[in-house]
C-alpha cells in the first residue's frame, strides 16, 4: 500500500415495564428492560467532527437499540442518513456496569454517572480504494470504497476512578453498515456476562451536544 497521511482527530426514577422498552433520549431517571431497549433521538442535535484538514459530517443518531439473544449483545444505531464523509469515528459510546454497583468502577466522561467496568465504542469504519482502512481518522489521497463497523470493547484500568483515558480494547468484533444502519455484536463470553444477568448501561451519542445531554437514559438491562 502506498504511504498515506492519516488525518488526526483534534477534538474529539422512571421505571418502565420489564420488556422491550422504547423511549426518548434525555428522558432522565433509571429505566428497566428485559432483553432489549430502544430509544428515539431527535435529528440535528450533533456537532461536526473537527480534523486537522477541516470539518467532517458528524454521525447523527435518530434511533439506538441494544438487544440480547441469550448469547450476544447487539448494538444498533440508525443515523439520519447514510454516511457521507471520508473520516472514520465512533458513533456511540457504551458504558457497562457489570455488577450493577455504582460504588465500584469508573465514571462516564461527564463524571456524574459512576460505577462502570467496561466501555465500548461502536465505530463507523471506512475501506478505501487503495486497500487501506480506518476506524478512527482517515486517509488523504484515497477514495471511500465501502463502510463497515466495529464494536471495540475494553476494561477500565488504572489508579483513578475518574478517567476513561486508559482503555485497552480486548475485542473488536466486525459489524455492518447498511444504508443508515450501523450495527455490531459482542458475545456474552467476551463481555463476561451470562443469561439472566442484569447490567447497568449508559450510551452516549459521540457527536452529540458537548455536555451530559449527549447521554441516553440509564437502563438496567436484564439479558436474555
**Close Cβ partners of 218 (under 8 Å, ≥ 6 residues apart):** 29, 30, 31, 113, 200, 201, 202
pLDDT tens track for 138-195 = 888 889 999 999 998 888 765 555 444 445 566 677 899 999 999 999 999 888 899 9
Residue carrying C-alpha cell 486537522: 52
Average pLDDT on 27-47 reads 89
pLDDT tens track for 97-125 = 999 888 888 877 666 678 888 888 999 99
**Three cell numbers, residue 125:** 469504519
**Three cell numbers, residue 66:** 441494544
pTM for this one? 0.83
pLDDT tens track for 48-72 = 888 877 888 889 999 999 999 999 9
Amino acid at each position: 500500500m502506498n504511504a498515506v497521511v492519516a488525518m488526526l482527530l483534534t477534538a474529539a426514577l422512571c421505571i418502565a415495564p420489564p420488556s422491550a422498552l422504547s423511549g426518548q433520549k434525555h428522558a432522565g431517571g433509571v429505566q428497566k428492560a428485559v432483553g432489549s431497549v430502544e430509544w428515539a433521538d431527535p435529528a440535528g442535535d450533533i456537532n461536526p467532527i473537527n480534523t486537522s484538514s477541516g470539518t467532517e459530517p458528524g454521525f447523527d443518531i435518530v434511533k439506538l437499540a441494544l438487544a440480547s439473544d441469550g448469547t450476544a449483545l447487539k448494538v444498533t444505531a440508525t443515523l439520519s442518513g447514510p454516511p457521507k464523509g471520508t473520516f472514520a469515528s465512533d458513533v456511540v459510546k457504551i458504558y457497562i456496569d457489570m455488577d450493577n454497583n455504582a460504588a465500584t468502577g469508573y465514571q462516564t466522561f461527564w463524571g456524574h454517572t459512576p460505577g462502570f467496568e467496561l466501555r465500548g465504542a461502536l465505530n463507523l469504519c471506512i475501506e478505501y480504494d487503495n486497500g487501506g482502512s480506518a476506524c478512527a481518522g482517515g486517509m488523504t489521497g484515497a477514495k471511500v470504497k465501502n463502510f463497515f463497523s466495529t464494536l471495540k470493547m475494553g476494561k477500565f484500568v488504572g489508579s483513578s476512578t475518574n478517567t476513561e483515558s486508559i482503555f485497552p480494547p480486548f475485542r473488536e468484533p466486525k459489524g455492518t453498515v447498511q444504508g443508515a444502519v450501523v450495527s455490531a455484536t459482542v458475545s456474552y463470553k467476551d463481555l463476561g456476562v451470562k443469561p439472566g444477568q442484569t447490567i447497568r448501561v449508559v450510551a452516549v451519542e459521540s457527536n452529540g451536544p458537548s455536555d451530559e445531554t449527549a447521554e441516553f437514559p440509564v437502563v438496567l438491562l436484564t439479558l436474555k
